Amino acid sequence: MKSQSSLNENITPKLAFFVLCMNHEKFIPDLVDSLQKQTFSNFKVYWIDNASTDLSAELAEKLLKKAEINHEVYKNKEGANIPTNLNFLLSKKENEDFIGLISADDYLHPENFEQKINFLNQHAEIPMVYSNGYYLYEDTKETSLISEKMELKGGRVYDDLIKRNFVFSIGTILRTTIFDSIGKFDEQVGIEDWDYYLRVSEKYEIGYISQPLFYYRQHSKNMSLNISVKYVEDCFNILKKHKKNNTNYYKGVDYLMKHYIEILVEERTPFFTSLIKIFEKSGFRRRTLSFLRKFNSKK
């Protein structure tokens, strides 16, 4: 691994890097290789395997050891949800100054750690930073820039973030002190990262780096791509949790309706029926009927 000589600090901060893995054996070599190539080297990997049925945990241990990367690998005997696993890793970290996040099927640009830690060192008032990145399409190995598909931004983003989750967790770095201020991940929600970043952005600015610093693998097992009734219900639960008096809450509701109804109604009628039930169950019967009238008038 390269030295961190380009960091302009007398004392190099330490990073606890959390890796979540479940049946990612095929992709682990790419991630470990990207960790080995990081230009910032003062980090420790905390790896949790979520009861994989393949050899993910064994391969992770083997490759991390071979790469001489400081690490701990844990394996669940039974599966647990993502926020539970993240809170477990929080309980295992040592005295690191920063925490980073990734799923084991994604990987990083060599300067991911260095650029983001430098950013936080230069912006003491900001507790977390994320970046632009690439979609990596597993079937073709082609890439596309995420910022060309959606608007990414930093600063006071709460009002925008409640409309739609645009903060990518891949390689995101947070100060450990934010967990003292905001608390741990909510183990009762289904989209823990969106919930957590909303909690952070209510009180603080969020940092953003426009340079692409990670690769987000797109394949059939991505939770965000494998749209289900539960996923949409989880989205509504997040919105309801953060409703308060924020008018943009309703813009988030409208975004969900527009996105899922218009895209899926033609191809998946049973799924569409379930979506309508979710919308109505969430307390938006009048809004749902109004939206459907507008949608049907365009057909």
What's the pLDDT tens digit per position in 50-63?
Answer: 999 999 999 999 99
288 has a pLDDT exceeding 90: no
Mean pLDDT of 165-177: 96
Alpha carbons 214 and 34: distance in angstroms, whole number: 10
Q: Which of 39-48, 141-150, 192-201, 258-267 has the lowest mean pLDDT?
A: 258-267
Instruction: Tell me the CA distances in angstroms from 85 to 35, 49, 101, 248, one per residue in order.
Output: 21, 9, 12, 31
Alpha carbons 98 and 122: distance in angstroms, whole number: 14
pTM for the model stands at 0.84
Alpha carbons 58 and 49: distance in angstroms, whole number: 10
What's the pLDDT tens digit per position in 84-133?
Answer: 999 999 999 999 999 999 999 999 999 999 999 999 999 999 999 999 99
Contact between 21 and 47 under an 8 Å Cβ cutoff? The reply is: yes
Here the tokens at position 276 are: 């309508």
What's the pLDDT tens digit per position in 237-246?
Answer: 888 888 765 6
**pLDDT-based confidence at residue 146 (cuts at 50, 70, 90):** very high
**pLDDT-based confidence at residue 256 (cuts at 50, 70, 90):** low
The residues near 95 (Cβ < 8 Å, ≥ 6 apart) are 14
Here the tokens at position 255 are: 């975004």
**pLDDT-based confidence at residue 2 (cuts at 50, 70, 90):** very low
In the chain the first and final C-alpha atoms are separated, in Å, by: 57
Alpha helices in 151-220 (DSSP H): 158-161, 178-182, 192-203
Question: Interior CA angle at 247 toward 244 and 252, to 5°?
Answer: 95
Mean pLDDT of 206-228: 77
The alpha carbon of 221 is separated from its chain's Cα centroid by a whole number of angstroms, namely 15
Mean pLDDT of 12-30: 94
Contact between 256 and 236 under an 8 Å Cβ cutoff? The reply is: yes
272 has a pLDDT exceeding 80: no
Q: What is the CA radius of gyration of the chain?
A: 20
Return the pLDDT at 6: 40
Q: What letter represents residue 212's amino acid?
A: P
* CA atoms within a 13 Å half-sphere pointing along the CA-CB vector of 64: 21
130, β-bridge pairs: 208
Contact between 214 and 131 under an 8 Å Cβ cutoff? The reply is: yes
Alpha carbons 263 and 269: distance in angstroms, whole number: 11
8 has a pLDDT exceeding 50: no
Mean pLDDT of 150-174: 93
SS3 110: coil
Domains annotated on the chain, with CATH: 15-218 (3.90.550.10), 229-298 (no CATH)
